[in-house]
Amino acid sequence: MIQYLEGSVLDLDFHEMTILTSWWVGYGVGIHEGTYTRLALEENVKMYIYQHITENNQSLFGFLEKSEKKVFTELIKISGIWGKVAMQILSLGLDRLVQALADQDNKTIESVKWIWKKMAEKIVIEMKDKDFWISVTQTEEKQNWKVTIEQNLFQSILDTLVNMGYDSKQVEWILKNLPEEYADAGTIIPFVIRELS
């Protein structure tokens, strides 16, 4: 089983990348949007890998943090959640997902592609008491947490779009005026690109 890969980023897309290892083998690895915003072509990368094998297929899913892989393995234990859906859930950002589960915030989970109301409720019920979730109890801490996550996400998106050739001031203005329904990299980046077209 493949557990870990290190190499350079040969190809990169929102949901998939290719890692070229030092022994000149390229591995196609599924990623989520949050990982995409943190990578660049030809960059050296180290990834924790989950290898999913079925009778007819096998897939690799990659994570920059070991904690993400752990959450992924718990998510796919839930009936109805397969690898690509779990990656979509992780695109919320690990901290935001942790907070949504701690708050039993079904709406945030439901905002993920392929997740409907009943499934969001099921995910919250099955995941909220896992021992690796972090509880945030005071309102002020929650507010500070949310501001920090938003700032980190917006900066990553800004850097990504500027690297793609877009004007930083225009991108920044759109990010500051985002509609509420755009809450993760997978929805924000396409929206900003449409607005700039």
pLDDT of 19-43, one tens digit each? 999 889 999 999 998 899 889 998 9
Euclidean distance between CA atoms 59 and 83, whole angstroms: 9
Euclidean distance between CA atoms 46 and 62, whole angstroms: 9
Contacts of 174 (CB under 8 A, 6+ apart): 191, 192, 195, 196
Tens-place pLDDT, residues 165-196? 888 888 888 887 777 667 677 778 888 888 88
Look at the pTM and tell me if it is higher than 0.85.
no
pLDDT at 179: 75
**66 DSSP assignment:** H
Q: Which positions of the chain have pLDDT values less than 50?
A: 134-149
Domains of the chain: 1-64 (2.40.50.140), 69-135 (1.10.150.20), 139-196 (no CATH)
pLDDT at 145: 40
Contact 29, 18 (CB under 8 A): yes
Q: DSSP of 180-191, one letter per residue?
A: TT--SHHHHHHH
pLDDT at 180: 67
Euclidean distance between CA atoms 42 and 31, whole angstroms: 17
